[in-house]
Structure 1
C-alpha cells in the first residue's frame, strides 16, 4: 500500500508538469524548468525512502540468540547439564521475551511472555496450529496418527472433535469418576497396610513411585477396563516396557491385545455403569459407523490404538509429576499444609471420606494446585508448534515453517506479573489472582497450553489432582523422613 501511494504521487506530479509544458515554451525562464526537475527528483527520492522503509518492516526479524555453531545451530547449548528451559530462560534475560534459535536447519521462535504468547494462540492460532515432523514421532506415534502430534488438517480436526465430545468431555470425565475413586482407595489401602506391617508410628513411602503406579492404573483402567495388580504378569511386563522407555512395537502389543479383547467381547464393558464405557469401547463404537474414507491412509484399528496410547502416555507422567511437586511444596510449607487440612475438616469433616462433590468447596486446595502448576508446570517448555503460514508476532515477521516453543517455566515466574514470583504462595489465587484459571484463557498461566492445540485432558487432570491430594491430606499425617526441605 505504501509503494502504490508513492507511485501515484509521482504520476500526478509528472502529469502536472506535462500540462504546464503545453503552456510554456522552452524559451521561458530556466528557473521554471529547474524547479520542475527539482520537484521530480524530490518525489523520486521520497519514493525510494518509502520503499526501503517498507522493506525493512517486511524483513524485520526477531533477534537471534548468540552462540550458534555451523550446521547444528544452538543444539550444543541445549544438550548440556543445564535443563533446556533454564538455558532458554537465560537467553531471554539477554535477548528479551521473543527471540529465535537454530536447531539444525530449523528456525525456532522462543516466547517467554504472556502478552506475546497471547498473540501466538489467538491472532495467530491457526498459523501455529501444526506440529513439527520428526523421525521419532513417525516411528513412535503411529506415523503421526497420534492426534497430539498429528499435523494440522482434516484428520486432526475430526479426531480432536471425537476426543473433545466423546472421550474427554466433562460428562465423560464425571461418568468415569467411580474408577478414579476405586483406584485411589485401593492405592491408599496399600499405604495403610504398609503402615500396619511396619508396626511404627510412621511408615516411609516413595511417593513419586506411588503416584506413578496409581495414575497408571487409572489410565489403563479407563482406557481398557483392566487393572494391573502388583503381581499381575501383564502389569509387570507393561511396567518393564515403560521403565525401559520402549515405544512403538512394544507398546503396540498391549494396545493390539486390548483392542482384540474388546472386539471379541462386543462392548460388554458398557455394563460398567450404563453408558460409562471405557475409552477403547467409545472409540470402537464411533468408528464402527465410519466409512473407510473417513480417515484416509489409516485403518480404524490404528486410529483407536494411537488414540489410546496418546491418552495414556500424555496423562501419566504429567499427572504423577504434578502430584509429586504439590506434595513436596506442602511438606516444605507446613502452614499451607495446615491450612489445607483445616479447610477439609471444615467442609468435609472426619466422619466420612472426601469426595469429588466436595471439590467445589475446597478453594484453598484448588489454589495449591494452581500454584504448583505455576511454579512447576509438568512440561516446562510447551509442546512445539510449527507455523503453516507467514505471520507477525510481537512486531516481527515470522516465516512459514518456523517452530514455536513457549517457555512456560520462565513465563510463569515473570516478576512483572507475579509478585515474589519464585515463592510458593497459594493465597495469591484467593486474592489478586483469584480470577485466573488454567483453561488457556489467561495467558500468564498456561500449564495446559492454549488455542487449537491445547491439551484436551484439563478436566480429567484437575479432578485427579484435587481428589488425590485432598484424600492424602485428610487421611494421613504427612512428613518428610528427616524434616529436611525436599526442593
Structure 2
C-alpha cells in the first residue's frame, strides 16, 4: 500500500510538472523575439542534448542555431551566447542585469549556501568577500609581497625534479630522460603556492604533518570541479531527487563538510599560542577580526579561503599542463621559448617574476594556451535579474546565461586558423588579438585572481622551460582530448620525459 501511495505521489508530481512546462512553453512561444531554439522534449526540455564535455556540445548546436540560442534545461530558461559581440552586450550594457549567479541545488552546501565569491548574488555580501580576497591576497601590493613564496615553491619543485632525475640517471648522465606524471606534480605545486600564501602551510613535499588532510583536500578540489558547472541533470529536474538520483549533490555535500572542517582547522592553528604564522592571509584576517569581528568572522574567513583555493589550484595547474602538452607537440616553439629565456635571463640564475616583462614570447604562449583551452570554457553561469534585450532578442528575467568562451576563442570570424596552436598571433601588440579573449570572464564578475594566475603560471612554465629538456614518451603526438567539468582538464593526464639542460646543471645542483 505504501509503495502504491508513493508511486501515486510521484505520478501526480510528474503530471503537474508536465502541465506547467507545457503552459510555460506555450507562453514562451508567443514571444516571437526569443532566440532560436532546437526542438525540445516534454519535461526535460533540451537535457537530452547533454553530452560531455558540455562546451563542445553547445558549440556544435550553436553552429546550426546561431550565436544566441534559447534552451530549456528542464523548466529552467537558458541563454547560450557564442559570439564576442553578444557577450560584450551581456557584460557592458546589461552587466548589472546579469550580475547575479545561478543557484544550482547541488551546490548549495558546497558554496556555503551560495555565499562564496563565485556563487554569491551581486550585493553587499559579495562585495565584502570579494573586497577581502582582493585586499588580502590579490592586490598588486600583496602579490608583490608574496612573490618570494611563489618563487620558493617553484624552485622546490625544480629541485625535486632534478634530484629524482639525478637518482635515476646513474652512468647514463645527460643522455638519460626521466618519466614524470606532470598533472600530479603541477597540482601539488599550485596547491602549495596558494596554501603557503593563505595559511603558511604546505600540503606536499618534505615535512608534511598531515598526509591524510592532503589527500582528502586534493580529492575535494578535483571532485568540486568535475561535479560543478551546468552539466548535472538533477539540478534541472527536481523529480530526480525524489527518486534518489542525486549522487552529485550528496558528494558535494560531503565535500562541503570537509572544506568547513579543514578551513576551521587552519584558523584554529593560527590562534594557538606560539603559532608564529605572521603575514599569511589568515593571520592578517584574524588581526582585522579583532577590530571588526562582524566583517571578518570565522565563516567569512572560511568562505574566502575555500573560494580562493578552489578557484586557483585546478585552473592554474590545468593551464600549465595544456601549455607543456602543446609545446611538446610543437618542439620548434619550445626551442624558441627556451632561447628567449636564455637571451634575457641567462643560465646563471633561475627565472623570476620580475623577468616576465622581458619575456614577450612566453606571454604569447600563455595567451594562446588560454585561447585554446580557457580555464572556464563556459563562463561561470549568470542569471538575469530583469528582462533584457540582447542582439535584438528579448530575454526573460530569471534566465540562466551561459557564455561559451571556448567557442568564441575558436571563432573563425575572429581568428586565423583558429584551432592551430600559434603563439605568434599575439606578437604584434597593435592587432588587438588579446582583446578578443575572455578566459577570466567580463564585467563586474570578472575573475579577481587574474593577476595571480598570470604570475604563477608564467613563473612555473618559464622555470620548467629554462631548467629542463622535454620530450614526448613516444613518437606520436600527445592526445589533446578534453575532459569535462567546470574547468577544462585534459582527458588523459600528461606524462612526459625530462632531463636537466646541460647549461643549467650548475644552478640546479645548488638548489
TM-score normalised by the chain length of structure 1: 0.81
Could you say if the C-alpha distance between residues 459 and 241 of structure 1 is closer, same or farther in structure 2, counting changes exceeding 3 Å? closer
Contact map agreement 1:73 1:103 (CA 8 A) in 2: yes
Q: Point out where structure 2 has 5 or more consecutive residues left out of the alignment.
A: 1-27, 224-253, 481-511
Match 1:334 to one of 312, 331, 334: 331
Could you say if the C-alpha distance between residues 86 and 433 of structure 1 is closer, same or farther in structure 2, counting changes exceeding 3 Å? farther
Deviation at 1:208, TM superposition (A): 1.1
Aligned to 1:188: 158
Aligned to 2:508: none
Contact map agreement 1:267 1:281 (CA 8 A) in 2: no
Deviation at 1:64, TM superposition (A): 3.9
Q: Residues 43-75 of structure 1: CA distance to partner in whole angstroms, max 9, x if unpaired?
A: xxxxxxxxxxxxx9x944333431422112112
Could you say if the C-alpha distance between residues 74 and 287 of structure 1 is closer, same or farther in structure 2, counting changes exceeding 3 Å? farther
Aligned to 1:19: none
What SS does structure 2 have at the residue aligned with 1:205?
Answer: strand
Aligned to 2:444: 452
Instruction: Establish whether residue 75 from structure 1 lines up as the match of residue 24 from structure 2.
Output: no
Distance in 1 between residues matched to 2:312 and 2:468, nearest whole Å: 26
Aligned to 2:277: 269
Instruction: Establish whether residue 207 from structure 1 lines up as the match of residue 168 from structure 2.
Output: no
Deviation at 1:433, TM superposition (A): 6.3
Aligned to 1:36: none
Deviation at 1:435, TM superposition (A): 4.2
Contact map agreement 1:408 1:447 (CA 8 A) in 2: yes
Aligned to 1:286: 288
Distance in 1 between residues matched to 2:34 and 2:58, nearest whole Å: 15
Distance in 1 between residues matched to 2:166 and 2:212, nearest whole Å: 25
Aligned to 1:223: 198
Q: Residues 425-465 of structure 1: CA distance to partner in whole angstroms, max 9, x if unpaired?
A: 1001012765444xxxx3x2100001111110001000011
Match 1:94 to one of 59, 64, 73: 64
Higher relative contact order (CA 8 A, sep 6+): 2
Distance in 2 between residues matched to 1:282 and 1:452, nearest whole Å: 26
Larger Rg: 1
Deviating above 4 A after TM superposition, structure 1's stretches of 4 or more consecutive aligned residues are 432-436
Distance in 1 between residues matched to 2:444 and 2:273, nearest whole Å: 36
Instruction: Establish whether residue 324 from structure 1 lines up as the match of residue 321 from structure 2.
Output: yes
Distance in 1 between residues matched to 2:387 and 2:135, nearest whole Å: 32
What SS does structure 1 have at the residue aligned with 2:389?
Answer: strand
Aligned to 2:249: none
Could you say if the C-alpha distance between residues 409 and 477 of structure 1 is closer, same or farther in structure 2, counting changes exceeding 3 Å? same
Aligned to 1:475: 467
Contact map agreement 1:65 1:91 (CA 8 A) in 2: no
Instruction: Establish whether residue 401 from structure 1 lines up as the match of residue 376 from structure 2.
Output: no
Instruction: Establish whether residue 424 from structure 1 lines up as the match of residue 421 from structure 2.
Output: yes
Q: Residues 96-121 of structure 1: CA distance to partner in whole angstroms, max 9, x if unpaired?
A: 00011111111111001000000011
Deviation at 1:259, TM superposition (A): 0.5
Q: Point out where structure 1 has 5 or more consecutive residues left out of the alignment.
A: 1-55, 271-276
Contact map agreement 1:62 1:98 (CA 8 A) in 2: no
Contact map agreement 1:332 1:485 (CA 8 A) in 2: yes
Distance in 1 between residues matched to 2:205 and 2:146, nearest whole Å: 23
Contact map agreement 2:188 2:203 (CA 8 A) in 1: no
